[in-house]
């Protein structure tokens, strides 16, 4: 009887171990992106259109891991959950201004050369790097292949965009002769000082240091030139105003009814058009200037601004108007602090 019980227990243990093994195998399969329903089509695209071998792509996909925290983070971006009075203090703080001055001093030559070559002010370039990565101190800790694969295969709302970025990522690592399993970046797959997505790297990054490798990860000179080139290619107008304050001359409800109000889109309506709608500039600006009209919920109540082409260009880096405003405000504070430091000397 004892023997029979022992046999029965052994059978149960064996059955349990087999179930655990099966579950483990299942977990392993689900974590292996070569087994994803969309993988075969992707591999075929990389082979047929871009000249990779199936073995290469499958090897990299098998190493990529689905990261739930990435899916959680992209579903709740900071810009959507915060007002301007909450968002601004994240970036406009004394330490970030001080670090901006230090970064400017450490990279004077590259910033001056970028400003001269591309027409983008040094303070704007510095502010972008300050907002994006705190001057290279926080460039992201996610493996780029995990981030892009997770979003390309398991985030339907923007899967086509991230699939395209994954394609570009594999191509850029081939072009630069780097292992795609090694690079780290943001949860969205952005990389380096200026947080370039793979397609932006391939289209706009430049070897500004002239050493033969476009290194936005460790070389601030290349990052500076790349950001300046990105802005130039996205319509930055040298010497032009970025944004100007405005006020309402009509009831807010009437202004809000205009479909172009609070929309980040290429400036189409002119200052004169907005005056007729009820948004007027608080500073002198040509009536024929195309602008976008923005409302912010600021620390002292509602604020109104007119963003010119250069404001729109900043939103090509990040489509949030609060982001663009934070970059501009930080740039002005850094510029003022830089002048003050020079005066003291």
Q: d(Cα 265, Cα 278) in Å, to the nearest integer?
A: 19
Tens of pLDDT, residue by residue over 76-100, are 876 677 999 999 999 999 999 999 9
Strands annotated E in 204-309: 243-248, 279-281, 292-298, 301-307
28 pLDDT exceeds 70? no
* Average pLDDT of the chain to the nearest whole number: 91
Q: Which residues have CB under 8 Å from 124's CB, separation 6+?
A: 231, 314, 327, 328, 331
| pLDDT of res. 10 | 38
27 pLDDT exceeds 50? no
173 pLDDT exceeds 80? yes
| pLDDT of res. 292 | 98
7 pLDDT exceeds 80? no
Token couple for 195: 């947080």
For residue 31, what pLDDT band results from cuts at 50, 70 and 90? Answer: low
Regarding pTM above 0.95, the answer is no
CB atoms inside a 10 Å sphere around CB 253: 7
The helix or strand, by DSSP H or E, that contains position 142, with its residue range, turns out to be: strand 142-143
Active site residues: 132
Token couple for 303: 């604020």
Tens of pLDDT, residue by residue over 265-321, are 999 999 999 999 999 999 999 999 999 999 999 999 999 999 999 999 999 999 999
State how far Cα 250 lies from the chain centre.
36
Q: Nearest-CA neighbor of 227 among 195, 264, 202, 266?
A: 195
With contact defined as beta carbons under 8 Å apart, do 85 and 299 qualify? yes
71 pLDDT exceeds 90? yes
342 pLDDT exceeds 80? no
Name the DSSP class of 82.
-
Q: d(Cα 274, Cα 257) in Å, to the nearest integer?
A: 13
Tens of pLDDT, residue by residue over 45-68, are 999 999 999 999 999 999 999 999
| pLDDT of res. 23 | 31
Q: d(Cα 36, Cα 170) in Å, to the nearest integer?
A: 18
6 pLDDT exceeds 60? no
For residue 206, what pLDDT band results from cuts at 50, 70 and 90? Answer: very high
- HEC profile of 150-186: HHHHHCHHHHHHHHHHHHHHHHHHHHCCCCCCCCEEC
Q: d(Cα 325, Cα 244) in Å, to the nearest integer?
A: 11
Q: Nearest-CA neighbor of 33 among 25, 24, 42, 46?
A: 42
Q: d(Cα 146, Cα 119) in Å, to the nearest integer?
A: 36
Tens of pLDDT, residue by residue over 125-156, are 999 999 999 999 999 999 999 999 999 999 99
11 pLDDT exceeds 70? no
């Amino acid at each position: 009887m004892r023997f029979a019980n022992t046999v029965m227990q052994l059978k149960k243990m064996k059955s349990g171990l087999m179930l655990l093994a099966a579950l483990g195998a299942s977990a392993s399969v689900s974590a292996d992106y070569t087994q994803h329903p969309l993988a075969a089509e992707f591999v075929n695209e990389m082979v047929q259109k871009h000249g990779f071998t199936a073995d290469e792509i499958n090897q990299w996909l098998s190493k990529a891991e689905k990261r739930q925290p990435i899916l959680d983070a992209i579903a709740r971006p900071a810009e959507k959950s915060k007002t301007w009075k909450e968002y601004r203090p994240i970036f406009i703080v004394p330490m970030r201004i001080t670090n901006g001055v230090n970064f400017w001093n450490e990279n004077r030559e590259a910033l001056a050369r970028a400003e001269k070559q591309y027409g983008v002010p040094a303070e704007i370039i510095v502010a972008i790097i300050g907002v994006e990565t705190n001057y290279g101190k926080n460039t992201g800790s996610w493996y780029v292949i995990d981030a892009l694969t997770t979003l390309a295969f398991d985030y339907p709302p923007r899967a086509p965009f991230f699939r395209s970025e994954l394609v570009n990522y594999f191509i850029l690592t081939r072009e630069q002769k780097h292992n795609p399993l090694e690079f780290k970046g943001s949860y969205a797959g952005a990389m380096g000082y200026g947080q370039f997505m793979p397609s932006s790297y391939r289209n706009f990054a430049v070897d500004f240091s002239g050493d033969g490798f476009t290194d936005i990860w460790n070389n601030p000179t290349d990052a500076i030139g790349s950001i300046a080139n990105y802005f130039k290619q996205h319509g930055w107008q040298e010497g032009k105003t970025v944004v100007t304050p405005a006020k309402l001359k009509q009831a807010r409800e009437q202004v809000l009814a205009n479909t172009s109000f609070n929309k980040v889109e290429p400036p189409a309506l002119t200052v004169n058009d907005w005056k007729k709608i009820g948004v007027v500039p608080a500073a002198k600006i040509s009536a024929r200037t195309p602008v976008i009209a923005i409302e912010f919920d600021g620390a002292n109540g509602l604020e109104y601004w007119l963003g010119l082409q250069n404001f729109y260009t900043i939103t090509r880096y990040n489509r949030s108007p609060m982001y663009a405003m934070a970059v501009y405000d930080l740039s002005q504070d850094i510029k003022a602090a830089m002048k003050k430091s020079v005066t003291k000397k």
